[in-house]
Amino acid sequence: MVESIAFKTTDLFVWRLTLAFTLLGSIRDQEEVEEEKEEDQKNNEQLSKTSKYNANLVIPPLFKHEFITNLKGILYLYENVNCMVDVSNLIKIISDYIFQDGGEWNELIEFLNNAYMIEGNSVRDHILMVVNDMNRRWRNKIDMRSVIMNVLEHQNHRTRYHFLATLEFQLYLPLVRDILSTLEAKYRQDSEFSHDPAKLRQVFGNCLSISTMTILFNDVSILGSTHSETLFSLMEMNIKSPHFCDYQEIFKCYTTLIKYLLDTDQFNHKYVSVLKKILDIIKKIDNTIFMNQTKLEAMSIFSTIVLLGHKRMVRKEFSHFMIYLKEEMPVPPPMLIKSFTEKFDIFIKGLGAKHFAIYLPFIFRIMVDDSNQNNVFGLIVGCAVKN
């Protein structure tokens, strides 16, 4: 038996051979039986005419059960990468052998459905990646809704991250968003969790991880067209909460997605609300070295939208943005002044002189700085004459 050998030795090579010979032995014995009954099988109407083999005969139920039973012990005994890679490959080979012929391996499916309960961190993380791989190969066998829910609630950050990193977001992003939204409401409203924001922070950490994985770490176009609204709603869960603080990172995700929609001519009226969120994020970012860069990014986005002819969409939110700058920045930094003055022509032409007049107090404040006075004054006069 695999179990007796696996637990009496620490030789990784031995258990590999044991599993291999156990599998080969089962197949060999059944092949001998098949040869003896070859004539009978030709006329056996119970076997599918398109079947390559009868999986339940080739790999008997006892082996399926014993493999999973011993697998748990082997994984705990040999908690290393090589062992887990070997196990993954074996699972793939045997499950393909079974499933291709319409057979079932209930013990394996139950094991994978409950992989989040494995105690060893490395083993759990690797098996959860096997779950995602298995689900790609054989749809509707694993209860992915239950698996995703349990992993997102798991207390180990690395486990959540490894699982999400290999999850098919193209298929499961809306489900993930719905689950996280449900969890956020549960933890925010339930008195049991109200005194401890740790669970809420976990939800927001998941939202941020998903945003960075799908927008910053990968090609934004993969999900930008099909799931942009879902991605915005994920990020906005973080923006609205007082328990979230990594606004700089979420701002990068937010603006990257907006720029993608602008560049691909997909930005339309249904996204107008995201402009307000830009200002919400800016207001929450601490006055650090990243603050001015964030304002520059926001100004660039607003000017791009105006340049593309969406002036009605941007007027209200842009005015709020400029009023905020005027009120919150006693001494505007040079790089912000430079960026703003470079875009005067765009703003006056796109918004119209009447709507641009609201920003004059901020402009005159900039002019107080002697080093910028001539430059700014000249730009204003030049733009006014052209428009």
pLDDT recorded at residue 6: 37
pLDDT tier at 13 (50, 70, 90 boundaries)?
A: very low
Comparing 65-79, 324-338, 346-360, which segment has the lowest mean pLDDT?
A: 324-338
Higher pLDDT, 195 or 12: 195
pLDDT recorded at residue 350: 73
pLDDT recorded at residue 5: 38
Per-residue pLDDT of 172-227, as tens digits, reads 999 999 999 999 988 888 767 666 688 888 999 999 999 999 998 888 888 888 89
Cα 172 from chain centre: 10
Q: Work out the average pLDDT over 310-315.
A: 72
Quick one: which of 94, 96, 99, 49 has its CA closest to 71? 94
Q: Work out the average pLDDT over 161-172.
A: 93
Distance from C-alpha of 187 to C-alpha of 243, rounded to nearest angstrom: 12
Q: Work out the average pLDDT over 233-252.
A: 83
Distance from C-alpha of 151 to C-alpha of 159, rounded to nearest angstrom: 7
Mean pLDDT over the full length of the chain: 75
The CA–CA distances, whole Å, from 238 to 37, 121, 250, 267 equal: 65, 27, 8, 22
The pLDDT of residue 306 is above 60:
yes
Comparing 10-14, 148-152, 203-207, which segment has the lowest mean pLDDT?
A: 10-14
Q: Work out the average pLDDT over 335-339.
A: 69
- Characterize 104-116 residue by residue with b for buried, 16 or more Cβ atoms within 10 angstroms of its Cβ, and e for exposed: ebebbbebbbebb
Distance from C-alpha of 102 to C-alpha of 284, rounded to nearest angstrom: 55
Domain boundaries, the chain: 1-38+52-167
